[in-house]
Amino acid sequence: MKKICFALLLLCSVVSRADEGMWMLNRIDQRTADIMKGLGLQLTPLELYNPEGESLKDCVVDFCDFCSGVVVSPEGLVFTNHHCGFGGIQKLSTPEDDILKNGFAAKTYEEERPVEGFFVRFLDRTEECTGRVMRAMNEIYLKYPEKDPKQLDAQYLDSVMNAVEKEYSEANPDRYCLVKSYYTGNAYYVSLYKVYNDIRLVFTPTQTLGKFGGDTDNWMWPRQTCDFSVFRIYADKDGNPAEYSRDNVPLKAKRYARVSLDGFRPGDYCMTVGYPGSTDRYLSSYGIRERVDGINISMIDVRGLKQSVWKRWMDSDRAIAIKYASKFASSSNYWKNSIGMNKAVKELNVVGQKQQLEQDIRNWYAQDESLTARFGTMFGELEQAYNGRFDTMKAYGFFAETFLRGIELGRVAAILDSKPDSAQIAKTREQLQTFYKDYDARVDEETMAVLLDNYRQKVGKDYLPSFYKDIDSLFKGDTKAYARDIFSRTALTDIACLNRIVADSTLRDTDPMFGYYNSMTDFYKEMMKHVLDGRQTISYNEHMLTQAILERDQETPHYSDANFTLRLSYGFIQDYTAGEQHFDYYTNAQSLLDKAARQQEIEDYKLEEDIISLIRKQDFGRYADPQTKDLHLCFLSNNDITGGNSGSPMFNGRGELIGLAFDGNWEAMSGDITFNPELQRCIGVDIRFVLYLIDKWGHADRLIKEMGL
């Protein structure tokens, strides 16, 4: 945290290339605006971000803190991706009313369905608070001069950030205030949000459309996925946030996005505005190795096994398919992402490129004694700390995927591990009801047997929790028999367990699932001691590496890594070539029919006959492209994208909505670590495809009119 060069941060709003970057809207200066204008943007910086008035940022929302969305009507109508709304759609689905499978279109406001737990946030403003944070930390450094700054940062920084958040919250009681780190701890900003919690489902296509291509096409191009769902924001009669009530009314939007049916061509300006979640483009080569060879390997291995078990059950029972749909989609998404990332990192020589950058930095600071004093030990300490914990981190990856994200019933033991008082029982019951709604003990038992056996094979004997001794001594190493024994004797497989344990607390000592859970958590605590070894050293020196990059390249603009705050990426519509294969910038209706014709061999290409018949009619009307006279489905731009960008509006130069971002392409899956301008593309669903389905399939004329079309 010490000796930060604040002048460097003033350069961060300048942009060097049109297609890379997670740029902060509140830091767009005139030079940046001129570059975007030259590419075709017709809006001024103030029309993009204006904390004192209306601007484009006012129609973009943080959707449930894991996706993005856009308001498209004066009545608070919100478009986001189908996979962003998937969990809510699944919650509202039952075997008798399977809207996940069949789709849903509310014909009136009264038919719109509230989704428990969903919310949206509107950004009010973002303010820099680096000075506040640094002044507080400098006081701590002076107070404890004998202590290592790395230790002080780890011990006090979060508390300082929380204190700044509290100051803003007290001064703005009607806002949600959040302080976040930028540039690996070299700058800090606070964002103030207005939060609405009454969110209702308005429209969703069938699952076959919203997830068309499934795992087969995920992270791939070309795509035909109609990845959208429609929600509405409700407020009290005065337009203020309010919990769900039948008396609430549709929000009168401060700003909404106009929809364009004009189409676009390669080279046309395209801009995404949304909430990208996480990138690590300043990460050292040592950190990249840990992520690829440690964390990603375990995710690929364990999730692949877990998903194969889940899928067998889901294919055989529609009720289980509904229960596990959202969990499977979430697990599968980053399972395939990790596969693609590891492949791209190797093929694009990402580690080699990073090592060359690090050598350039060594050469740079070696020319100046003061720079050597600040940065000279940085790489040696990073290498030693990362290498020292590599084996443990790899084992921890397998542990986390197996026990924390794989075997589910341990979560119930975690919830019931401490005795709830009378005030907590209602909250505990609510937690368990949510859990059991999407749980099947038969699936979990088989998952447990498979994952326990796999974990033993993939980690050394030093990383086995103590219950493996019981597996060996009592069950002769048979994890299937061990799982059967636990699930046949535990009381935790249904909601009645809460009443049982409230009546008889000795269950915590006698129930076998608590025995498994306690053994697992005891080992977890020991493992975490080793996982945390070197964390302070790594955090401090990764921070110093970013500082060195900023200072060395002062004439080059640098955006901060994504951290789920509002960001802008700008570029243009663009195709690409990978190897000897060229990919066009859009897909059309016929390409969807071609894939649907293969649904007997590829299940992910299944499509209902009524949808196929509708598209075959080619009655595209005003949704057809003006030049090709065809229905365009999905398209490519060279905008920057990562997780969290899903649902981000894609705007043309006039600030009109032309699509919703939903994916990246396979050839550039290393994009969270490094941006490759030749290969990296943002995949969006064409807004004309969205409106065509709302209109022609859903017959939701009221929504078309509401958007002013």
Task: Tell me whether residue 73 is one of the annotated catalytic residues.
Answer: no
Residue whose pair of structure tokens reads 């009136």 in the numeric block:
108
The alpha carbon of residue 575 and the mean position of all alpha carbons in its chain are separated, in whole angstroms, by 25
Hey, CA dihedral for 316, 322, 324, 326, is it positive or negative?
Answer: positive
For 203, the token pair is 């429209």
Give me the catalytic one of 93, 331, 646, 670: 646
Q: What is the DSSP letter of 458?
A: H
The burial class, CB within 10 Å (0-12 / 13-18 / 19+), for 128 is: middle
* 23 beta partners: 568
- Of 406, 408, 216, 407, the residue nearest 301 (C-alpha): 406
Task: Tell me whether residue 646 is one of the annotated catalytic residues.
Answer: yes
Q: For residues 319 and 330, give the distance between their C-alpha atoms in angstroms, rounded to a whole number.
A: 18
CB atoms within 10 A of CB 694: 25
Where are the extended beta strands (E) located within 183-279? 187-196, 198-204, 229-235, 249-250, 269-274
Task: Kindly list the distances between the CA atom of residue 420 and the CA atoms of 426, 491, 518, in Å, as whole numbers in the listed order.
Answer: 9, 17, 18
Give me the catalytic one of 19, 58, 62, 227: 227
Q: Specify the 3-state DSSP secondary structure of 230.
A: strand
Number of continuous H segments (helices) and E segments (strands) in the chain: 28, 21
Q: For residues 39 and 268, give the distance between their C-alpha atoms in angstroms, rounded to a whole number.
A: 8
Task: Tell me whether residue 591 is one of the annotated catalytic residues.
Answer: no
Whether 543 contacts 382, CB under 8 Å: no
Q: For residues 351 and 39, give the distance between their C-alpha atoms in angstroms, rounded to a whole number.
A: 33
Whether 129 contacts 190, CB under 8 Å: yes
Q: What is the DSSP letter of 309?
A: H
Alpha helices in 467-588 (DSSP H): 467-475, 479-489, 497-503, 507-510, 512-531, 535-552
Task: Kindly list the distances between the CA atom of residue 68 and the CA atoms of 147, 229, 334, 365, 497, in Å, as whole numbers in the listed order.
Answer: 42, 12, 18, 41, 38
Give me the catalytic one of 82, 83, 543, 558: 83
Q: For residues 2 and 17, give the distance between their C-alpha atoms in angstroms, rounded to a whole number.
A: 31
Q: For residues 54 and 481, give the distance between their C-alpha atoms in angstroms, rounded to a whole number.
A: 63
Measure the CA angle with vertex 253, ends 249 and 259; round to 5°: 120
- Residue 588 belongs to what H/E stretch? strand 586-588
Q: For residues 35 and 629, give the distance between their C-alpha atoms in angstroms, rounded to a whole number.
A: 33
- Of 66, 203, 221, the residue nearest 685 (C-alpha): 221
For 390, the token pair is 């590599």
Q: Residues with catalytic annotation?
A: 83, 227, 646
